[in-house]
Amino acid sequence: MGQIHTIGIPRGLMAYRSGVLWKAFFEELGLSCVISPKSDRQILEKGTKRAADETCLPFKLYLGHVESLLGECDAIFVPRMGGYRPKEKMCTRYEALPDLVKNIFRNQHPNILTVSYDWYDHTDEAKVYLSLGAALGRSKSESKKAYGAARKKMDQWMKAKEKKQNILLEGDGLKILAAGHPYVLHDPFMGGEISRLLGKMGATVVFTDYVNREKALKRSYHFSKVMPWIINREMTGAVMLLRERVDGIVLLSAYPCGPDSLVNDMLVRKVKEIPMLSLTLDAQSGAAGMETRVESFMDIIRYQKAGGYGNH
């Protein structure tokens, strides 16, 4: 892979969690990045045509993003992420991602840039980025330097988000915690719509992925010792950390997410002291159905706060 100058990053899945790191790393190496446009109906339609019917909504959108990058860059970055530890894995779809994209876009012959790591490889993030640099033909010291700078940038970005969210949590008003995978929460086509609705109804929306990741991860072991997924760990850990500081929780999940199908059920069983709304988003639903449910949820919280249901 000698002559790669521009790298395409599909704006989907883990780009919402680590995208800043990826982009900074490539730019530090002197490459330019093309990021696909924000999700919309067209991108979903493109992706739906490619994907098997039963696959989850975020994956369909991801395929749409990949398609919109075809011909726009020299290589598309599709990492294979297995997670770093046995109890902090990723959903198996991330293990399959590069091979999936290659098989689905076989006739378009896209150039896929990938890096692979798995929990049984006993590796860490720094090593993974070294091998990614090597795949781009960069020396060890160049990659190391680029990774260091990128990591710093990522940490700054994360800290800024945490800080901003803390100010929101200190403020007055009705606070609703949106809980879910980062790419569901922040994709304008999925969680973005729900946040907009909540905001319109006067709530301050805070997110589970804008909480310190290490703290949330640690806290999640109080919730479950055996839960194998890191994203669900960060999500449940953040719920545990914030549940006393918010007035309600909206669990957002995309249909049919494997990990969420079990973990969200467990959350509803275990976290009882706070109003919780569980929303499952799929490709068909318009915002109208959601609007009714969010509205009634907000009404219940307001009514309860005003002393309804014999609380006071």
Q: Which parts of this chain interact with another protein (CB under 8 A)? A: 52, 54-56, 80, 86, 91-93, 95-96, 98-100, 102-104, 106, 116, 118, 224-228, 255-256, 258-259, 261-266, 269-270, 280
Which residue has tokens 């549940």? Answer: 243
Smallest distance, another protein to C-beta of residue 85, A: 12
Instruction: Please report, for residues 2, 13, 24, 42, 204, the alpha-carbon distance to residue 199 in angstroms, rounded to integers and kept in the order given.
Output: 48, 24, 31, 26, 6
Nearer to another protein, 59 or 210 (CB): 59
Nearer to another protein, 54 or 172 (CB): 54
Nearer to another protein, 282 or 299 (CB): 282
Nearer to another protein, 116 or 131 (CB): 116
Q: Cβ-count burial of 300 within 10 angstroms (0-12 exposed, 13-18 middle, 19+ buried)?
A: middle
How far apart are the C-alpha atoms of 277 and 258, rounded to whole Å? 19
- Give the torsion sign (CA, 99, 103, 104, 107): positive
Smallest distance, another protein to C-beta of residue 90, A: 11
Q: E strands of 74-224, at which residues?
A: 75-77, 80-81, 83-85, 88-89, 112-113, 116-117, 175-179, 204-207
Smallest distance, another protein to C-beta of residue 310, A: 25
Smallest distance, another protein to C-beta of residue 122, A: 14
Nearer to another protein, 78 or 203 (CB): 78
Smallest distance, another protein to C-beta of residue 118, A: 7
Contact 178, 194 (CB under 8 A): yes
